[in-house]
Structure 1
Amino acid sequence: MRIGLNLLYLIPGIVGGTETYARGLLRGLRQIKPDHEFFLFVNRESDRLIADDDPDFSKVVCPVYAVNRKNRYHFEQIRLRRYVKQYKIDLLHSLAYTSPIFLSGPSIVSIPDLNFKAFGNSMPLSRRLMLRLIVRQAVIRSNKVITISNFSREEILGQYPVPAEKVVVTHLAADNNEVMETKSDDEPGDQNLPALTLPYAMAFSSSTANKNLSGLIRAFLEAKKKHHILQKLVLIGHQYPVENDIQGSYGYKDIIWTGYLERRNVLEILKRADFMIYPSFYEGFGLPVLEAMTVGVPVICSHAASIPEVAGDAGIYFDPFSIKDMALCIARVAKNQLLRRELREKGFKNLDRFSWQQTAAQTVAVYDEVLQNNSFRHSREGRNPVLLKNR
């Protein structure tokens, strides 16, 4: 059967976790090689996502730029269904929140999380309202909804009037190939990497409210002042404004922002960290937790949302709303090398629960179920879906 993957949202290097999801799913599909033909509907920014002569996927470059959300939404809702018909797609899977509402054939939509509802106030009102409308219709009208954690599944079921069996979980995974491609510690460093003095802890810098950057900085400074930890804090990403009282605090000079880094360099810095801190209030999955474990870095993290589901027993948890609790956990791990070694080993074991091959296999099982149900429905109605499609 012909499966269409709607990747019109994907802007390489910009959309973050949903790009990782798409690339990981494609990698898993290559590994399991299901008995389906795959057509990737991409925008102009993503025309190099796969080669033109890729043996596993056919690429359809659509005349739209995703950077213009209004045009992309319009293309997806109005024009994409014509491409679906032209390429005789049996099932369309839209991988990021939205899908064509008035599609005539079977469809699946992936809803990684409901962050636009939980922390949507940072979005422009027009975009927030548009997402609320389109995502709701996508959830209701699609044959199945795929999400990436049991936490997100419960969120979706709590927000939309759909039966429980309609929402399916397929966990994400870390990319072990990326780790294997990074240099060993004794190889010469990348000249573009910032000069970092060991020891340090690391985290990701972000301006979005759910990432809890301000809380992390305050907790680190408290751990410095009250518990006298040796580690600096390396924040991967751009520097964002922080409150004035933070800038003058004891230990602030030990906070280092790297600025934007290429993916390879992110992993180089991550794997040299004593531990990673993941302080989010809200996540649909929490992929950096697995990425840290892949390179043998201990994780201390928030006990909120999906994060415990991902970290399992391999993380040290704190209350992200409590600066004191965060600081205590940071100090506990920073000062205990034996604990860090134990967390490292637990992290490696935790990774066994996740793989892109498993994600792909579970996704294909959803495809097969929807296609079988659609074929059964047509047969009961006295119609042959193959003949109908070729009219």
Structure 2
Amino acid sequence: MSIPFVDIFSGISDMTGHLIELYRVRRDGSFFEQQQFMAHLREEEAAQAHKRSLERDALVASQSTDQIEAATKSDLDKQIASAGLEIAVSRIIRSDEINHQNSVFRYEVDKTRSLIESATAGGTRPAFLIAPFYHDHLSDNDNDHGPHSFRVAIRRSWKSKGWHNDVGLLDGLISRPLRNTDTDLMVIQQDLHDLPVILAYGEVQDSTRVWASLSAWNVAFHDGTPAIHVNLPPMYIEPGDEDSGVTSRLAFEDALGDRIALVAGTLAEWFHVVNHGRSPQLHKLAAAQDGFGRRHLAFSTLAAFEVALQKATVSEFAARVEQMTTCLDVGMSEPARDMAVAAYELISSSAEELYRADRPRLRSLSAGLASLGRADLADSTRELLEKRARKEVMDFFALGDSIAEA
């Protein structure tokens, strides 16, 4: 260890004093006095050296104590930090174990999200998830690992519909019934909060009554809107004899699958109308006897276009023409006439609206007005369409508005 600065400065000070005294004795004293002084000087130097040694040892000891204390404190801090890390890791592992035990998904959340993102084709269509139904007379273990009722019927019913491509079907991604119904729904929605999802699930009460439900989010509204929940009326499983029991059970499951497929199709149609302005098709594809009936499906689509207008997915003219066409498809003449007149007034009063409207919808409006008994407005619409066509030709050849009007 290097000599502390205090030893060096003390030695220099003592040496200076002794040299001055020695110079005085050599100048003024006798030889005996000089020898006596030298002996005294050596004794003094020895005493000073011993004193400096003691001071140095004390200083070194003090420094060693500080270092030991610092090292001890550092080791203690490391032990505390290590213990805290072990506790945090244990909590994380325990939390993961609990989440895994209670998870409704077959895979961990990141894998689940990746599969859903792929099924939705980048969010351009909803994902359709099917959960096994919960049986209230079974234990949680039997519900989780027993036969899962209705999934096959719901999946097969959906695949048989003309609108099955409106969603990305992911049956099997949810591995157990939603036995913690509200909590499970909340967890699923939190994990998939930013993805368009339609979820079918349900409960079987006393092996007799079936309650089916659907929940959907990011389907038709802005982000942050609560999920849409649809609770279907209960369906009763009729007891059958040994000969007809299996047949009646299959017929019941098929009917349940058709009902869920129709509601899921309605939610999917809302998604495509609201987010992409797609022309409605569910009311054309659904059979007249399906669930709510074609008119109810068409009426639902009318409301979807109002939401699309709020989101600026479609223009008002496009919305009114689509609403008119949908009403005509199911024989609702009065609302169809109202929508047709509203669309005509938009393009007849504004050249900007006229030139912005697409030609196929202009032709649809003209045909619709004619079928609704408004031949005068149908003729005016055709004239507006011809006027627009002339202007487009003039603009293409840069011939000017005056020639177009002539």
Larger fraction in helix: 2
TM-score normalised by the chain length of structure 2: 0.22
TM-score normalised by the chain length of structure 1: 0.23
Larger fraction in strand: 1
Q: Give the structure, 1 or 2, with the largest relative contact order (CA under 8 Å, sep 6 or more).
A: 1
Give the number of the structure whose alpha-carbon radius of gyration is greater.
Answer: 2
